[in-house]
Chains A and B, each alone.
Chain A
Amino acid sequence: MSDSTVGIGLLLPEVLGTYGDSGNAQVLCKRLQWRGYDAEVVPVSLDSSVPSTLDLYLLGGGEDMAQVLAADFLRNSPGLRSAANAGRPVFGVCAGLQILGNRFRGVDGVEHAGLGLLDLVTEPAQQRAVAELIAEPNLLETPLTGFENHQGASVLGPGSTPLGRVVRGTGNGDGTEGAVTDHVIGTYLHGPALARNPELADLLLSWVMGHALKPLELAEVDTLRSERLAARRAR
């Protein structure tokens, strides 16, 4: 990989890949390549350690056992934390969001330490949330759309702000959705989130590149967004 190639870290796809999560890496990679930049997806598996030199890090969704395993692994491999401390963007979805928080408790009642990159704590919720999720964003202009499937209720501390406010669905469980601290973002949106929300993808990429990126016109994405966002009125 040359110095000018953007390295997109896809963390532990063998255990955190439940919701088509490699799609987020693919979306980021293509959105850079189509604008003329070199980019490459770098999968990081459990039998290696996390390099601190990648430009961006992605964590996906996973089942209960897999989530605990991934959290243990990432806590004991300093690469991700030092990259985050250096300002490299980190994007976690579902189990990924919970791992990035301070701690989480599974449905089995056992509490596990997270990475502390987001100021949030997750407890099991009464009900599983399985539905389309729509949120009004805080950092962005356009609404967020995705699918959620989790049984976690996440409460944010003062060190994180919500990514958005829930319009339809459950999100964090208290009307907020997701969490942001500096360049670390967690969300319950999958679908995958960055395929459905190109503005969010480009926000992450602008942090990597250090400047805003030229808009990219993709009629397919506009069509899908208007279809999914129409569900807000259908309710």
Chain B
Amino acid sequence: MSTRLRTRASVAAGRLTAWFSRTARLGRGGVIGGRVTLRLDPKALRRLGQDRTVVIVTGTNGKTTTSLMLTRALEALAEVAHNGDGANMPDGLVAALAARPDAPYAVLEVDETYVPWVAEQVQPAALVLLNLSRDQLDRVGEVRMMERDLRAAFAGLSRTVVVANCDDVLVTSAAAAAARPVWVGTGRRWSGDSVSCPRCGGAITHTDREWRCAVCAFARPEPTWTLDGDLVHTPGGRQVDLDLRLPGEANRANAALALAAAHCVGVPPHTAAARLRTITDIGGRYRTIRRTRHSVRLMLAKNPAGWAETLRVLDEDTPVVVAVNAHEADGRDLSWLWDVHFERLRGRQVVVAGERCADLAVRLCYAEVPHWSEPDPVAAIDTLPPGGVELVANYTAFRDLVDRLPDV
């Protein structure tokens, strides 16, 4: 069998498996289909990626949102293959590409740990690196290792434009190794990780918008794209008003990076921005569900940086349910609760929920935020007076909730 034919045959086998998996309700069919394809043909990703323009999106937070933004933007040009189900490991990527064999563009959200291998396979035209922070407290050190791996990978990608957030110290360290970095200034929002210099361990000092290492002079590069409130300043000296439907600064930062990446591939910023405004929710997040007495806006915060961002977008006068678990996927260590500025919740009705609501209650007690406890997040909603509710949950708490609220 020729190699071309072999890929086609294994893709067909993969599709069949995906169909079986879906009909047998075994879960997300795409991933299993991708796994079969990769097993039959280990070079499937390389073959499926060639002859199209691929953009990779990676980072700790905002991958799903930013890759959806980029997909919308690139659809201005032609059909786009995209792993919109969030399956961001090789199996999922293969499945997404196989589902749209003729799409000339592909936008792939890729788990950080797989980026070196995936990028080597598909040789992307552009790669967006959003941010790097700790996903889980009991995995300290991993984010630095990740930065070093990405730095080494970028050094070998001579044809890839790396679009990077230069207000993130670790991101900058990795992307500086790229042949063609495009720096996007998105503003500094998260500082809870106590990050010392990735090059020498020295302290990073921040002044106004700048940052630099006090020891080795590693410093923030001058960005060509800058986010300023709701405006994105482009390298051409133009201004684009974002006016997103999604809330919060973090999403504006994602949008700025998406505009820069779309521009690299040939979509003018104003065209891209108009298309981003069609996005109203991301896999259930930010979506409002209506129950008999309450309308509940669902928000997911997977890690400390994500919590900091999410607390900022909460509506001022609306009661809040905060739900926290500590399973393996969430991280077992909840010390990070003390890095998050829960003082922001003062002045609202707050219910603490989730399996670790006792930890949250102590944190709120010292933050002087009055609250009550109801471990079951759905029951917690029902303890509130009729009307709007903001619900913020971490990973497994959010997942359980989405399973239980039929409307989502």
Q: Is the CB of B338 within 8 A of A69?
A: no
Report which residue of B193, B202, B214, B358 has the largest number of chain A beta carbons within 10 angstroms of its beta carbon. Answer: B358
Q: Are B335 and A147 in contact (CB under 8 A)?
A: yes
Per the CB 8 Å criterion, the residue count for chain B at the interface is 32
A21 to chain B, nearest CB (A): 8
Residues of A within 8 A of B193 (CB): 18
Which B residue's beta carbon lies closest to that of A224?
A: B358
The segment from B23-31, B83-91, B133-141, B149-157 that touches chain A is: B133-141
Q: Does A47 contact B (CB under 8 A)?
A: yes
Residue B201 at the A interface, CB < 8 A? yes
B196 A66 Cβ-Cβ under 8 A: yes
* Chain B 351-408 residues near chain A, CB threshold 8 A: 358-359, 361-366, 368
For B304, the closest partner residue in chain A by CB is A20
B196 pairs with A14, CB closer than 8 A = yes
A-B contact count (CB 8 A): 103
Specify which chain A residues have a CB less than 8 angstroms from the CB of B338 in the assembled complex: 20-23, 26, 192, 195
| A46 lies within 8 A of chain B by Cβ | yes
Cβ contact of A19, chosen from B335, B362, B364, cutoff 8 A: B335
Chain A residues, CB < 8 A from B39: none
User: Would you call B289 an interface residue if the criterion is a C-beta within 8 Å of the partner chain's C-beta atoms?
Assistant: no
**Do A15 and B335 touch (CB < 8 A)?**
no
Give min CB distance, A85 to chain B, whole Å: 27
B141, B203, B332, B358: the one contacting A223 at CB < 8 Å is B358
A220→B194 contact, CB < 8 A: no
Interface size on A, residues (CB 8 A): 40
With A15-B196, A149-B138 already in contact, the answer to whether A69 and B201 are too (CB < 8 A) is yes
Q: Is residue A39 within 8 Å, beta carbon to beta carbon, of the partner chain?
A: no
Residues B339 and A22 in contact, CB atoms below 8 Å apart: yes
Asked if residues B140 and A18 are in contact (CB atoms below 8 Å), the reply is: yes
Cβ contacts under 8 Å, A191 to chain B: 333-335
Cβ of A13 under 8 Å from chain B: yes
| A234, chain B: closest CB distance, angstroms | 14
The reply to whether B140 and A63 form a contact with Cβ atoms under 8 Å apart is yes
| B161 CB-CB contact with A under 8 Å | no
11 contacts between A and B (CB under 8 A): A19-B137, A20-B338, A20-B339, A63-B141, A130-B332, A147-B138, A190-B333, A195-B338, A195-B362, A220-B358, A220-B365
- CB < 8 Å: which of A17, A69, A130 contacts B202? A69
Chain B residues, Cβ within 8 Å of A27: 366
Tell me which residues across on chain A come within 8 A of B333, comparing CB atoms: 19, 130, 147, 149, 190-191
Contact partner of A149 (CB less than 8 A), chosen from B137, B194, B368, is B137
Question: A15-B196, A69-B196, A149-B138 in contact; A20/B359 too (CB < 8 A)?
Answer: no
Interface members, chain B 117-144 (any A CB < 8 Å)? 137-138, 140-141, 144
Q: Does B69 contact A (CB under 8 A)?
A: no
With A20-B335, A195-B366 known to touch, is A220 a contact of B196 (CB < 8 Å)? no
Task: Give residues of chain B (262-286) contacting chain A, Cβ–Cβ below 8 Å.
Answer: none
